[in-house]
Amino acid sequence: MKKTLYTLAMMAAFAWTSCESKSSDEATAEITETSQEVIPGQYGAEFAEGEVMTPAQLVSKLEGTDSYTGQIMGEIKEVCTKKGCWLTMDLPNGESMRVTFKDYGFFVPATSQGFPILLEGVATRVETDVETLRHFAEDQGKSAEEVAEITEPKVEITFEATGVIIKDKA
């Protein structure tokens, strides 16, 4: 468990510094590249659809264990507006699940909000620190006041995807 939490904390720190370390020209180029019209398809490692959990089943599963490896089907709620390096999905308990991509190895289009998605990877219950939560809020375009209001770490479900399939909207 500690190894998993350490790994996730290191990934979050890497993702945070990677988003922030680009020059404005590099960031503009990446935004332009990832802001193209969403073309449903596969991103990251290829995989075949297998036994799929819903977000409700995932929440129930994680009540009895620290992690789950497999596939989750849901809908994209928000995407990192800087380069598509993370996304969120709604959970039935009113929370959101943040999805990052293994080894920062791929991104999804920044315009993919509202599309159905199939994820393959590992879901884990973690505590996210204030600095990372503030970084995510900035990536979402929240105001300085909203970012400053984040003062407590948050226990949440996160998902590290090895691959995703963005499906056509119904």
How do the pLDDT tens digits run along the chain, 170 residues long? 444 444 444 444 444 444 544 433 443 344 444 445 778 999 999 999 999 999 999 999 998 888 999 999 999 999 988 889 999 999 998 989 999 999 999 999 999 999 999 999 999 998 889 999 898 888 878 899 999 999 999 888 999 999 999 999 87
CATH of residue 119's domain is 2.40.50
Written as six digits, the tokens of 56 are 């409700």
Written as six digits, the tokens of 10 are 């290191």
The pLDDT of residue 142 is 87
Q: Into how many domains does the chain fold?
A: 1
CA gap 6, 8 in Å, rounded? 5
Residue 80's domain comprises 2-166
CA gap 158, 67 in Å, rounded? 10
> Crossing angle, helix 130-139 and helix 2-20, to 10 degrees?
40
